[in-house]
């Protein structure tokens, strides 16, 4: 059945799969960039960011030479910012440790910052036709359904079983590897979807064990949902007459690491203390709360506007002036949205 599965998938992909994605090339740099961007992100969103990023950093050497701020600025709004930081570090690894040449094997690729086994396998398969399988969420779903494999996706032993099972499904000929791997991605994304799968259009329709056993809705086994925690943040929007605000670069760990943000606090008392220390006007204008969803956290953000004179300064050197209509910076998405919706107000 393994050979049948692989051949069906290759034939289907060549006839019905996706063939016009801009990263469907042999260039390992382009493939690597797309694979990192596509982690936890929809193709439609990546199609917007990918060409702009590639135009600014057309090769790994230029990416390695860039500053972290440049990289994060282009990534701003795409989310999961650790991906951008790791991408930058990995580019420097390729230049320094591999002489600027992309490693070709999965094991070598896994040495790069932010590159796990599945991502490394995709790069080696697409760029170098190595016989390596991927195992992202879509692929796990396809395999579990077609072969009626039951187990918790959070169980390490079951995941190892899936890796070995998926490896055994690979076609023998290296030239078939790209179509096969792309077929796995396409089938999971467009046909064997999490809900309302298009079974009648599936090339595995007549051999799918989950369909035969009426287990489509049960496989793969559902994990208990991760509870969503709410975190309230208080922002100080310190705005000059010209509309510029004070921002600083956040630490390299934690929420929005490495991005530029306004003064941000988890306690209202901390915000008040900051205002007293820097002699900000009393009674900042409290704005309507708004929310921003992260993967496992819901942010409730309450901004306070403080209007200051043109010569107002914060004594710490890390604070800089930013005007959203001038030079771009890497800002958290909710701050971008807030600034685009609020008009600068004149200080009285």
- Mark 85-115 as b/e (b = at least 16 C-beta within 10 Å): bbbbebbbbbbeebeeebbeebeebeebebb
**Amino acid 348: pLDDT:** 39
The region that residue 236 occupies, defined by phi over 0 for left and psi between -120 and 50 for alpha, beta otherwise, is: beta
**Amino acid 327: pLDDT:** 63
The closest alpha carbon to 180, from 10, 7, 20, 23, belongs to 10
Q: How many domains are contained in the chain? A: 2
Structural domain includes residue 119: yes
**Amino acid 226: pLDDT:** 79
> CATH no. for residue 154?
1.10.340.30
Same domain, 67 and 199: yes
Structural domain includes residue 336: yes
**Amino acid 224: pLDDT:** 75
The closest alpha carbon to 305, from 339, 333, 256, 277, belongs to 339
**Amino acid 345: pLDDT:** 47
Residues of the chain with pLDDT under 70: 326-327, 343-348
Distance CA 206, CA 215 (A): 14
Structural domain includes residue 326: yes
Same domain, 115 and 79: yes
Whether 286 sits among the annotated catalytic residues: the reply is no
Catalytic-role residue among 35, 159, 300, 305: 35
Same domain, 284 and 165: no
**Amino acid 100: pLDDT:** 96
> CATH no. for residue 241?
3.90.79.10
Structural domain includes residue 276: yes
Range of the domain at 179: 2-212
**Amino acid 344: pLDDT:** 52
Same domain, 239 and 163: no
Distance CA 18, CA 24 (A): 9
Structural domain includes residue 265: yes
Q: Render pLDDT for 180-189 as a digit per residue (tens, 0 to 9).
A: 999 999 999 9
Per the listing, tokens 């509870």 go with 227
Which domain-ending residue is among 180, 212, 244?
Answer: 212
10 contacts 183 by C-beta, under 8 angstroms: yes
Structural domain includes residue 147: yes
Q: Is the dihedral of CA 247, 239, 266, 327 positive or negative?
A: negative
């Amino acid at each position: 059945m393994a050979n049948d599965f692989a051949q069906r998938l290759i034939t289907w992909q060549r006839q019905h799969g996706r063939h016009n994605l801009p990263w469907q090339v042999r260039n390992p740099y382009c493939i690597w960039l797309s694979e990192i961007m596509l982690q936890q992100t929809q193709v439609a969103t990546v199609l917007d960011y990918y060409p702009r990023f590639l135009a600014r950093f057309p090769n790994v050497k230029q990416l390695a030479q860039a500053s972290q701020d440049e990289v994060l600025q282009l990534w701003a709004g795409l989310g999961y910012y650790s991906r951008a930081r790791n991408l930058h570090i990995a580019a420097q690894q390729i230049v320094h440790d591999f002489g600027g040449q992309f490693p070709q094997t999965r094991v070598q690729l896994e040495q790069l910052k932010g590159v796990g086994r599945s991502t490394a396998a995709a790069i080696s398969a697409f760029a170098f036709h190595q016989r390596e399988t991927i195992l992202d969420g879509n692929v796990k779903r396809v395999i579990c359904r077609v072969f009626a494999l039951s187990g918790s996706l959070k169980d390490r032993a079951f995941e190892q079983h899936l890796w070995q099972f998926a490896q055994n499904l690979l076609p023998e000929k290296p030239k078939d590897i790209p179509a096969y791997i792309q077929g796995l991605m396409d089938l999971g994304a467009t046909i064997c979807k999490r809900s309302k799968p298009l079974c009648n259009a599936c090339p595995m329709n007549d051999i799918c064990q989950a369909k035969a056993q009426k287990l489509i809705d049960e496989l793969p086994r559902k994990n208990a949902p991760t509870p969503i925690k709410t975190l309230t943040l208080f922002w100080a929007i310190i705005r000059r007459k010209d509309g510029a605000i004070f921002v600083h670069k956040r630490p390299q760990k934690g929420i929005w690491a490495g991005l530029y943000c306004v003064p941000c606090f988890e306690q209202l008392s901390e915000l008040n203390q900051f205002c007293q220390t820097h002699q900000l006007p009393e009674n900042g204008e409290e704005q309507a709360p708004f929310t921003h969803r992260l993967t496992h956290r819901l942010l409730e953000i309450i901004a306070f506007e403080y209007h200051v004179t043109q010569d107002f300064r914060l004594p710490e050197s890390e604070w800089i002036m930013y005007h959203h209509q001038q030079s771009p910076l890497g800002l958290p998405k909710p701050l971008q949205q807030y600034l685009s919706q609020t008009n600068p107000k004149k200080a009285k």
